[in-house]
Structure 1
């Protein structure tokens, strides 16, 4: 399957978002035939920016393949060329004031930065006059990598990346009191806990499923700080997240640690295999991915309980493979094992919990399990009305799905 890149930039806010998938109902640029839009108005609003990269897309044709980050940085450069005014999202912080953490980057990150700079020159140097020098680009890529946001739909499928300077001011907590969601390309910050005047607002930068050690490693690697939030200092959920199977002879601590090491390795191995094999897009490769999930679950299941987060991670991957293969029963089976533990491990009003109920509800309805489907959709809706807001089109769509079953 060839992944086509679409760009959606709101006319009002002009924030760049790169979509890495193609939907049949999207409008297509008639020139490059590689940029896709929600509708004609969206396309017209984006033209002042897209016309600058459309030439490059046409020039490279099927060989056009810059990464999402490279495209975002190119758009930032082009945007800065055509306006010197603050954007609506730069009321408090300019994009150029982002922290880059260049002094904390290891050799691997520096190499990735240099690869991105090389790709930017390769795809854009003939079409963007006088690109910034390598030092300025190194800083810009580091700023975007450390402060960028991932845009996702209601089922948490990846849509693209963007920068929101004002929103980036929020600090991280593993027990956040707000959630960032998106309406089009506008970021919305909504409270999920009671927040009193003067209290700090905390967002989460990462997936909160995993135990304290894993979260801290991720935050230190990607954002260069050691988290000292309440959840990290109390480790209140770690025991449940690392639940061990009840056995007549409990495993020794070294056996548990060895299995944790295996789990982390197989998760990384699967991530690389999925990236490669989804591009190949054949049933044989999907079956190989599913087998990898099943074998790892069998091995980890000798020690870990089904509610253990490493088991849940591989179940979630297996569910995704089943959905790609249109194995609806298989996907439903994994989803049913995941959804309740998710509700325990994640904070209240988690988008991960909502998306799982949503996927499961739609699966149930597709398999003509009406009552189960409606029940799951209602549970998703209860979270989404808080996280997305009652006026969000995602919420309206779920309500419509529920009404249609009556």
Structure 2
């Protein structure tokens, strides 16, 4: 497929956004980009291939560092150019493991040393990325300084002498450069899991969270030209990933001269929380229509405050369960809270909604399909309320519920749900996306089964 060119859009100036040169229809693929650098998140190590980012239960690990894991020899060979220098660094810091941001920064340094070009720098290169260091609080600067020191220690196995670094490389600037985005976890229920000092999140928010087709975090990467995109809590574009490739798609009609926008954060939060996060992570305040009218804030926090605060704390404590026992504990906690607050919290309360999602995930991982469908069905109304237009999260949720309905023999309901998912996903993902292909296959199976009955 032809890769759309960013030259179709105007860049009035560095950091000032992209504007359309022509009228754009909903569902158009506006840009496809590969990362300047990317890494698998620590939580996904061992379950996701380091090169293609595909989930695989039978990965082969690097025989030297024993950290990086791959689908097979082909992926390992393809990844070696990016991994060969970090391999020694990973061995050198054992048994410790660097934060995701430090490992990514290391890869950025090694790529700069190679002086290799990257297509995603077509409009905006790494050296162009703007630093927001002067806007950071002293506390933030101290935390970023700590990470810069950690990076120096991490790179010591490969770069003993600072003179070996490319010109103008400043470790602190690597962490503060770029007013960039955290994005598409935009669509996730959690941002990158913060590890150690809280400052980790401030660093990783300079890059894109890479998600799989079902909007689950798998990695973090830097796509320089996409840093030109500005934020709106009510955007006209979304970013979806296919492996490590970034796809920028329009979700509304965009007029000539209109700015292209994406959401840097999860819009499900109340306005005050969104503003607080944007100010803390990106040093600006949003004045989009969603922030101005605050129309849905009351519904987002409906119910009794002590109840939703308890649920909020419980949901925030859940950290990537991996074993059956861990999922069973998560489900038991969810079931207890859901039964305790039946009359205190409506499903439209955002923390109750996240609790239902968590319970659904636990049931799916425990293969309790009927229970999973019960929880999933309760989320569809709130999802429709908070994601009324074309939103990838809603498409994925509809597909998951449709799949559960199909497993329970509820064929007419399943087909209706899958058709709703299809109508949204053809805009947010496009017909060529692997998840869309899986949805169409499931829809066809459902139609075939209905004919047999």
**Interval containing the TM-score (normalised by the shorter chain):** 0.7 to 0.9
Rounded to whole Å, the distance in 1 between the matches of 2:138 and 2:355 is: 30
User: Do structure 1's residue 65 and structure 2's residue 106 form an aligned pair?
Assistant: no
TM-score with structure 1 setting the length? 0.81
Rounded to whole Å, the distance in 2 between the matches of 1:372 and 1:107 is: 55
Q: Deviations over 1:287-315 (max 9, x none)?
A: 44334434444565544322222211222
User: Do structure 1's residue 198 and structure 2's residue 257 form an aligned pair?
Assistant: yes
Task: Provide the residue aligned with 1:138 in structure 2.
Answer: 172
Rounded to whole Å, the distance in 2 between the matches of 1:121 and 1:34 is: 20
**Any idea what SS the aligned residue of 1:197 has?**
coil
Moved over 6 A (4+): none
Aligned-residue CA RMSD (Å) = 3.0
Q: Unpaired runs of 5+ in structure 2?
A: 1-32, 48-55, 178-202, 449-453
Q: Compute the displacement of 1:113 (Å).
A: 2.3
Task: Provide the residue aligned with 1:50 in structure 2.
Answer: 83
Task: Provide the residue aligned with 1:16 in structure 2.
Answer: 37
Q: Is the 8 A contact 2:238 2:251 kept in 1?
A: yes
Q: Deviations over 1:215-239 (max 9, x none)?
A: 2122122212111001110123334
Rounded to whole Å, the distance in 1 between the matches of 2:311 and 2:112 is: 42
Q: Unpaired runs of 5+ in structure 1?
A: 1-11, 245-255
User: Do structure 1's residue 380 and structure 2's residue 421 form an aligned pair?
Assistant: yes
Mean Cα displacement is larger for which, 37-46 or 199-208?
37-46
Q: Compute the displacement of 1:348 (Å).
A: 1.2
Q: Deviations over 1:324-352 (max 9, x none)?
A: 33333332221111122101211411111
Task: Provide the residue aligned with 1:5 in structure 2.
Answer: none
Q: Is the 8 A contact 1:270 1:292 kept in 2?
A: no
User: Do structure 1's residue 341 and structure 2's residue 411 form an aligned pair?
Assistant: no
Q: Is the 8 A contact 2:212 2:243 kept in 1?
A: no
Specify whether residues 231 and 13 from structure 1 end up closer, same or farther in structure 2 by C-alpha distance, changes over 3 A only: closer
Q: Is the 8 A contact 2:315 2:351 kept in 1?
A: no
Q: Is the 8 A contact 1:240 1:345 kept in 2?
A: no
Rounded to whole Å, the distance in 1 between the matches of 2:215 and 2:269 is: 17
User: Do structure 1's residue 363 and structure 2's residue 404 form an aligned pair?
Assistant: yes
Rounded to whole Å, the distance in 2 between the matches of 1:313 and 1:78 is: 39
Rounded to whole Å, the distance in 2 between the matches of 1:178 and 1:347 is: 15
Higher relative contact order (CA 8 A, sep 6+): 2
Specify whether residues 375 and 41 from structure 1 end up closer, same or farther in structure 2 by C-alpha distance, changes over 3 A only: farther
Specify whether residues 69 and 373 from structure 1 end up closer, same or farther in structure 2 by C-alpha distance, changes over 3 A only: farther
Q: Is the 8 A contact 2:151 2:171 kept in 1?
A: no
Specify whether residues 305 and 57 from structure 1 end up closer, same or farther in structure 2 by C-alpha distance, changes over 3 A only: same
Q: Compute the displacement of 1:354 (Å).
A: 1.2
Q: Compute the displacement of 1:137 (Å).
A: 1.9
Query: Alignment length, in residue pairs?
Result: 375
**Any idea what SS the aligned residue of 1:147 has?**
coil
Q: Compute the displacement of 1:146 (Å).
A: 4.0
Q: Is the 8 A contact 2:208 2:223 kept in 1?
A: yes
Task: Provide the residue aligned with 1:241 in structure 2.
Answer: 300
User: Do structure 1's residue 210 and structure 2's residue 269 form an aligned pair?
Assistant: yes
Task: Provide the residue aligned with 1:274 in structure 2.
Answer: 318
Where do residues 71-86 of structure 1 align in structure 2 (5 Å cutoff)?
A: 71-83=103-115, 85=117
Q: Deviations over 1:183-207 (max 9, x none)?
A: 3322121110110110111101111
Task: Provide the residue aligned with 1:186 in structure 2.
Answer: 245
